[in-house]
Amino acid sequence: MNDMLGSSASPDQAAYPASVEYSALTRAEQEQILHLQQAVLESVAQGADHRAIIDRVCLLEEQLLPNSIGTVMLLDDIGGFLNVYAGPSLPAEGVERLNGMRPGPGSGSCGNVIFHSAPQFVSHTFTDARWQDLRQVAYDFNLCSCWSVPVYSADRKIVGTFALSSFEHRSPSPFHQKLLEIGASIIGIVLERHKVQASLRLFETAIAGSEEGFMILDTSQLILSVNPMFTRMYGYSAQEIIGQTPDKLRSDQHDDEFYLAMWQSVRHFGRWQGEVWRRRKNGEVFPEWLNISAVNDADGDTTHYIATFSDISQRKVAEAQIQYLSSHDALTGLPNRVLFQDRLESAIALAARDHHRVALLNLDLDNFKLLNDSLGHSAGDALLRSVATRLKQCISETDTVSRLGGDAFLIALTNVERVDDINTILMDILSQVAAPMNIVGRNLSLTCSIGVAVYPDDGDLFETLLKRSDMAMYHAKEAGRNTYRFFTEQINTDSLAHLRIAHSLRQAVKENQFTLHYQPQIDLRTGQLIGAEALIRWNHPTEGLVPPGDFIGIAEQTGLIVEIGDWVLHEACRQAVAWQKAGLPLVVAVNISAVQFRRGDFEQSILSALGQSGLAPQYLEIELTESVLLHDMDNMMSLINRLKDLGLKLAIDDFGTGYSSLSYLKKFKVDRLKIDQSFVRDIARDPEDRAIVSAIVQMARSLNLRSIAEGVETAAQLEFLSEQGCDEAQGYFYSRPIPPEAFEVFVRAMGTGAQLT
């Protein structure tokens, strides 16, 4: 055996040229190499699998180098070790022994190829130092020599080795080297092609299954290929569209200029993306998000265009819905405050230019809360929707109705020439709203109060106009509801006064500037004093005694009523006990504001007043108005039942004026009905008031309740009440509300009923 390296353990690679020239080969050898290449090509042409081709290379080379075996080992890119990839003649056990080989100076010919990045020709594996770690393998499989060369990837990285191992000691001739060189190069190409095909297949699968549409165009914009998503999106099959241009998908939403600009951008910047309206095969137009990129070859010349696109009609619908919801009221579908403000401000801008007016109408339904609470919320909702429809009918196309929330609506009248025009619309709105409506099978009627502020007269900012229309609306409410009021400077002054009162009321609570006056209540049958109603007064440092009508409303709005009411309860109970101690056992009636009553700690306030004073509960009567009971009935009922269980008395104040359903009288354990003074006032003259009063008295009797008439000023009134069988009375006829000391004097003077000791 020709041994060029002898038994030297140190490799002398310089002895072998990097690449062998064909001219160095004999003619016969050249032909053999040609045959080898043709045989491999044949396998490729037959569509053989990459593994089969590589095996074929090994076997063909074994034929050309008898008594040898060809093996391919590939580097593991993670661990950096070598595994046998092909070795059709290597026994399975040999494969197992070689697998996982770590390249190093003693790791055999293949390991050294990797270790030195150079071919290794080992003629004596039993003695060569390069086979030190594999010596046993060499013995066991009788591998006497082993020549190994690198296998390269397309980017000239060593990815593995191709080796011919012989069962005899031999050194390679130029022909053998050429065999190794050709084999390694074919194997490199086959491996590379396999890698590309695999990633192409992966790519194709991804595109075929993509949720995005995909299209390849040539440079003249002819469609070369589309994916299945395209067909699902557009309705055209691949056959129908291939060879056409995307013009077939155009909608008439864009002009030629749009497409020109789009393609210009693709040509200049290599890409374009944006929203395009397209047409499906069935004619339907839809928005898509389109992405076009140019594909360039190595010289930078564009060869293809790739378009990816997705149908964004769903997203558009959702966006529109969100846009709609954020600018509209969900219940009535009317514009909300944000959109309303927008429209009003545009209307003001136009009005400023054209010198006309804009009116802001602030509308609030009267007593809506009561209806809502007593009929249930779904009826309330139906009512609001019905009002919304009616309001829209009262205004023109260019005007806007908006729901602010609750039962509050805003209306913008955008093109007002004369203020008189507003009046006409206001009258129309009042009567439209007041017409009966059929809600859940019931005929209901409802009224509203409207405040009006006008641009430019009352302000030129939305916020100002809104505030002023609101003040005007409160004036409409105060004027008895079911009416409208324009904003005036007087209203402004009143509101400022309102603010001032709120401010000094806070001071009053801190400094306890309140006092209670008492008004006697008389039993009409016996003429005896049976009770006293406590009525609050504000002892104002500069303005003297302020009546409750001037501040209770503000105290309710500011929440101060809770503290004030708590003080009233404590003070009234303390007074009642003082009178009892003085031998005057009177029931003291205390007025309770709705705000105070609905607060969670009202019961606590009662218990504390009774506890601190030591008053027995049956000497305390609370006066509630009907509206308090009708709100949130279930909760009110349980609270009232608890209070009644304590022994407290309950009177319904101002009876007959509320939006009464009467049925609550069966539910609540009421003791007294206080007939409102508005009915009592005219009983001498007005037959209707007489009828109402006598009806209330009779109803009270049949329900086993006591009736007390408020505001009795004359003997004639008293006589009528007595005739009707009214149980008790209270009014200036007996006494005005008076301070407690004066009250004692009054009792003494009366000389009847309970006696002061």
Binding site for ligand C2E (CB under 6 A): 519, 535-536, 547-549, 552, 565, 568, 591-593, 623, 653-654, 677, 710-713, 731-732, 737
Cβ burial, residue 153 (10 Å; 0-12/13-18/19+): middle
Nearest CA to 278 out of 315, 233, 238 is that of 233
E-strand ranges in 676-750 read 706-709, 728-729
Residue nearest to ligand C2E (CB): 731
Nearer to ligand C2E, 483 or 678 (CB): 678
Which range in 181-189, 207-215, 487-495, 590-598 contacts Mg ion by CB under 5 A? 590-598
> Pairing mode, if any, of strands 587-591 and 620-625?
parallel
Per DSSP, the residues of 205-233 read: HHHHT-SSEEEEEETT--EEEE-HHHHHH
Q: Which is nearer to ligand C2E, 278 or 681 (CB)?
A: 681
Closer of 150 and 737 to ligand C2E (Cβ):
737
Look at residue 568 and give the partner it binds from ligand C2E, Mg ion, none, a contact being a CB closer than 5 to 8 Å depending on partner kind.
Answer: ligand C2E
The distance of closest approach from Cβ of residue 735 to ligand C2E in the complex, given in angstroms and rounded to an integer, is 9
Is 591 a binding residue for Mg ion by CB under 5 A? The answer is: yes
Contacts of 514 (CB under 8 A, 6+ apart): 508, 536, 537, 538, 539, 564, 567, 568
Indicate the residue among 547 and 614 with the shorter CB distance to ligand C2E. 547
Residue closer to ligand C2E, measured from CB, 149 or 535: 535
Buried b vs exposed e over 541-564: b needs ≥16 C-beta within 10 Å?
eeeeebebeebbbbbbebebbbeb
User: Nearer to ligand C2E by C-beta: 217 or 568?
Assistant: 568
Residue 364 binds which of Mg ion, ligand C2E, none (CB < 5-8 A, kind-dependent): none
CA-to-CA distance for 429 and 421, rounded, in angstroms?
13
CB of 555 to Mg ion, least distance (A): 16
Q: Does 671 bind Mg ion (CB under 5 A)?
A: no
**Per-residue tokens: 632:** 């949130």
Given the rule CB under 5 A, which of 5-13, 31-39, 298-306, 709-717 is the region that contacts Mg ion? 709-717
C-alpha dist (Å) from residue 589 to 513, 606, 640, 727: 21, 13, 16, 16
Measured from the CB of residue 604, what is the shortest distance to Mg ion in angstroms? 23
Least distance to ligand C2E from the beta carbon of 527, Å?
Answer: 17
Distance between CA atoms of residues 320 and 262, nearest Å: 26
| Residue 316 Cβ vs ligand C2E, minimum distance, rounded to whole Å | 56
Choosing among ligand C2E, Mg ion, none, which partner's interface includes residue 300 (Cβ < 5 to 8 Å by kind)?
A: none
DSSP 544: E
CB of 651 to Mg ion, least distance (A): 8
Q: Is the Cβ of residue 342 or residue 556 nearer to ligand C2E in the bound state?
A: 556
Look up residue 95 and give its two tokens.
């494969």
Of 262 and 699, CB closest to Mg ion: 699
> How far, in whole angstroms, is CA 583 from its chain's centroid?
66
- Other beta carbons within 10 angstroms of residue 41's beta carbon come to 12
Query: Does residue 294 contact residue 302 with C-beta atoms inside 8 Å?
Result: yes
* 565 interface partner picked from ligand C2E, Mg ion, none, CB below 5 to 8 A per type: ligand C2E
Q: How far is the CB of 710 from Mg ion (least distance, A)?
A: 5
The one of ligand C2E, Mg ion, none whose footprint includes residue 548, by CB under 5 to 8 A per kind, is: ligand C2E
**Could you tell me the smallest distance in angstroms from the CB atom of residue 623 to ligand C2E?**
6
Q: Which residues contact 505 (CB under 8 A, 6 or more apart)?
A: 538, 551, 554, 555, 558, 560
In sequence order, which residues have a C-beta less than 8 Å from that of residue 398 and are 6 or more positions away?
A: 414, 415
Q: What is the DSSP string of 324-375?
A: HHHHB-TTT--B-HHHHHHHHHHHHHHHHHHT-EEEEEEEEETTHHHHHHHH
Cβ nearer to ligand C2E, comparing 656 with 737: 737
Nearer of residues 439 and 535 to ligand C2E, judged by Cβ: 535
Pick from Mg ion, ligand C2E, none: which does 713 bind, CB < 5 to 8 A by kind? ligand C2E
- Contact region with Mg ion (CB under 5 A), list: 179-187, 432-440, 678-686, 704-712: 704-712
CB of 734 to ligand C2E, least distance (A): 8
Other residues' Cβ atoms within 10 Å of the Cβ of residue 756: 12
By beta-carbon proximity to ligand C2E, the closer residue of 491 and 569 is 569
- Minimum distance, C-beta of residue 372 to ligand C2E, in the bound complex (Å): 23
Smallest distance, ligand C2E to C-beta of residue 327, A: 41
Contact between 654 and Mg ion (CB under 5 A)?
yes
| 404/532 with CB nearer Mg ion | 532
The nearer residue to ligand C2E, 119 or 565, going by C-beta atoms, is 565
Contact pattern for Mg ion over residues 602 through 641, marking x by CB under 5 A: ---------------------x------------------
Site string for Mg ion, 390-409 (x = CB under 5 A): --------------------
Pick what 33 binds: ligand C2E, Mg ion, none; C-beta below 5 to 8 Å, kind-dependent.
none
Q: Which does 593 bind (CB under 5 to 8 A by kind): ligand C2E, Mg ion, none?
A: ligand C2E
State the minimum distance, in angstroms, from the CB of residue 559 to ligand C2E: 13
Q: Vertex 482, ends 409 and 625: CA angle to 5°? A: 100
Task: Pick between residue 494 and residue 556 the one whose CB is nearest to ligand C2E.
Answer: 556
Please say whether the beta carbons of 85 and 54 come within 8 A: yes
Helix (H, G, I), strand (E, B) or coil at 377: helix
Element (H, E) at 112: helix 108-116
Residue 433 site contact among ligand C2E, Mg ion, none (CB < 5 to 8 Å, cut-off depends on kind): none
Which of ligand C2E, Mg ion, none does residue 332 bind (CB under 5 to 8 Å by kind)?
Answer: none
Task: Give the nearest distance from C-beta 379 to Mg ion in angstroms.
Answer: 30
Q: Distance (Å, rounded) from C-alpha 363 to C-alpha 387?
A: 11
List Cβ neighbours of 87 (8 Å cut-off, separation of 6 or more).
Answer: 58, 69, 70, 71, 72, 94, 95
* Calpha distance 751→39 (Å, rounded): 140
- For tokens 């509300």, the residue is 737
Interaction with Mg ion in 272-331: which residues (CB under 5 A)? none
Cβ count within 10 A of residue 214? 18
The least distance separating Mg ion from the CB of residue 668, rounded to whole angstroms, comes to 17
Cα separation, 217 vs 294, whole angstroms? 9
Which spans of this chain sit near Mg ion (rule: CB under 5 A)? 591, 623, 653-654, 710
